[in-house]
């Protein structure tokens, strides 16, 4: 039912794998590649499925594995927090649709949590390869833990990768979602460790005129001409 997972540690004693073919992977600012796929909610065309929502497209290494089980059920428990941010969630792994369906039932049984979002069955690795989710140095057979934050205009706005042995942090995923939406809504940037409600950064000036305009701002925390914070 599960795809065998081969990690880099297991392959380290074997002959080095041939260098992967150079291919352009989606990057921040690129349009999110479109695709059709079989999912646990039926066949979808990604762009149509996304509609006018933000989307978190995430990969997990394999069904019926412990860390993935904790991650996917935690995302399910906190699904309303994504919905309230206008975010849709969709998962992908190289497992079959039968494996996904069985795992969804198993998670509902053993962890009392039903996944409200679809899982893509990417047996032919079409989606995983399109999005660069397979990192052969980590595993040549399964996807790493990738997160793609895609805005309503289908532009990739943030990408985060984790290895097979580190589970993701849902608070951090939500923090990135908040930061992207806050930056867009107020034309600001979010500083280190920022979380919703904290002060934001007024973008640095690019001309002397902008420096002047910035010097005239009131109700801001001015640390220097290029480092100005404000509350929203």
CB atoms within 10 A of CB 152: 12
Single residue of 37, 68, 127, 150 touching ligand BEZ by CB under 6 A: 68
**Beta carbons of 76 and 117 less than 8 angstroms apart:** yes
83 phi, psi to nearest 5 deg: -60, -40
Q: In angstroms, what is the minimal distance from the CB of 133 to ligand BEZ?
A: 13
146 in contact with ligand BEZ (CB under 6 A) = no
- Altogether, the residues listed in the chain come to a count of 232
62 in contact with ligand BEZ (CB under 6 A) = yes
Catalytic residue among 32, 37, 62, 68: 68
Q: In angstroms, what is the minimal distance from the CB of 164 to ligand BEZ?
A: 4
Stretch that binds ligand BEZ, among 9-17, 59-67, 125-133, 224-232 (CB under 6 A): 59-67
Query: What's the CA gap between 167 and 145, in Å, rounded?
Result: 8
Stretch that binds ligand BEZ, among 21-29, 61-69, 102-110, 201-209 (CB under 6 A): 61-69
Q: In angstroms, what is the minimal distance from the CB of 135 to ligand BEZ?
A: 13
65 in contact with ligand BEZ (CB under 6 A) = yes
**Beta carbons of 180 and 149 less than 8 angstroms apart:** yes
Residue 190: active-site member: no
165 in contact with ligand BEZ (CB under 6 A) = yes
Query: What's the CA gap between 180 and 151, in Å, rounded?
Result: 9
61 in contact with ligand BEZ (CB under 6 A) = yes
Helices (H), 56-124: 66-77, 79-83, 97-110
Quick one: tokens of 68? 């993935």
87 Cα distance to chain centroid: 11
- Count residues binding ligand BEZ (CB under 6 A): 9
Tokens 């066949």, located at residue? 43
Q: Which residues are catalytic?
A: 68
Query: Contact positions toward ligand BEZ, by CB under 6 A?
Result: 5, 61-62, 65-68, 164-165
């Amino acid at each position: 039912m599960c795809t065998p997972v081969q990690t880099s540690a297991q392959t380290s004693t074997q002959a080095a794998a041939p260098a992967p073919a150079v291919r352009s992977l989606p990057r921040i600012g690129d349009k999110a590649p479109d695709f059709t796929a079989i999912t646990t909610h039926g066949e979808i065309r990604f762009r149509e499925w996304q509609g006018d929502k933000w989307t978190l497209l995430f990969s997990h290494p394999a069904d019926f594995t412990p860390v993935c089980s904790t991650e996917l059920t935690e995302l399910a428990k906190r699904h309303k927090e994504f919905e309230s941010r206008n975010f849709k969630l969709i998962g992908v792994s190289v497992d079959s649709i039968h494996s996904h369906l069985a795992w969804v039932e198993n998670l509902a049984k053993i962890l009392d949590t039903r996944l409200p979002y679809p899982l893509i069955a990417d047996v032919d690795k079409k989606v995983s390869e399109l999005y660069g989710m397979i990192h052969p140095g980590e595993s040549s057979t399964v996807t790493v833990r990738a997160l793609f934050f895609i805005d309503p205009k289908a532009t990739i706005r943030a990408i985060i990768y984790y290895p097979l042995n580190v589970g993701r942090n849902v608070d951090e995923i939500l923090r990135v979602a908040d930061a992207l939406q806050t930056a867009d809504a107020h034309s600001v940037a979010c500083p280190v460790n920022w979380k919703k409600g904290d002060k934001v950064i007024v973008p640095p000036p690019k001309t002397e005129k902008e420096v002047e305009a910035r010097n005239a701002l009131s109700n801001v925390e001015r640390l220097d001409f290029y480092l100005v914070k404000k509350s929203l």
